Amino acid sequence: MKVEKVVVGQLSTNCYLVWDEESLEAIIIDPGDDGDYIIRRIGDFNLSPCFILATHGHFDHILGVTELKLALNIPFLIHKNDLFLLKRAEKTAKFFTGGEEEPILPPDKFIEKGDKIIFGKESLRVIETPGHTPGSVSFYSPGFLFSGDLIFAEGEGRTDFAYSSKEELQKSIKKILKLPANTLIYPGHGKEFKI
């Protein structure tokens, strides 16, 4: 499995291109903005994208979804508990960045714990990791975890939103810390680190 980090948007969100080296089938995790730049990077590696995945519904992780869906004609997957955030992403983005954004196209499918996302000979398993948002998920393959805004090299995700839960976040972090030692965590912002 190959991973390429693409930092996008005003909040410097980590978007990840993850692919099977043999087939070049790929997934796009958290396209937070700059869809044209993400598409260029996909072309640089000659990838064949299969899915767009969101770790959660905050605007800085999904603003590139519409552009990518229209350009690549591939499905967008997110947990149903974050659908409410998707519906207000355009308004939230305007509040935080001052920019006018396109509405986010609705998801093609909801994901939940235990689901497997298959691309080529590789796969990622969905782990529900609520707390930062009700529908936050992480994507796991032995040796790798894409954690969204659950946990960072410098600390844990924010829980000061009305819909967040510090208690749930702590439970989710405990779940992640049970993964094998040396699992490389790719967070939603900042640098990767090991458990």
Cα distances from 173 to residues 13, 18, 72, 108, 152, in angstroms, run 20, 23, 34, 28, 11
Domain spans in the chain, listed from the N-terminal domain onward:
2-194
Q: Are 67 and 100 in contact (CB under 8 A)?
A: no
Name 154's Cβ contacts closer than 8 Å, sequence gap at least 6: 190
For the domain with range 2-194, which CATH number is right: 3.30.43.10, 1.10.8.80, 3.60.15.10, 3.40.1190.20? Answer: 3.60.15.10
Dihedrals phi, psi of 114, to nearest 5 degrees: 90, -15
Question: For the sheet containing 2-8, what is the strand order?
Answer: 2-8, 13-19, 25-29, 48-53, 76-78, 109-110
For residue 179, give the DSSP letter. S
Taking only the tens of pLDDT, the chain with its 195 residues reads: 999 999 998 889 999 999 999 999 999 999 999 999 999 999 999 999 999 999 999 989 999 999 999 999 999 999 999 999 988 777 665 666 666 667 788 999 999 999 999 999 999 999 999 999 999 999 999 999 999 999 999 999 999 999 999 999 999 999 999 999 999 999 999 999 998
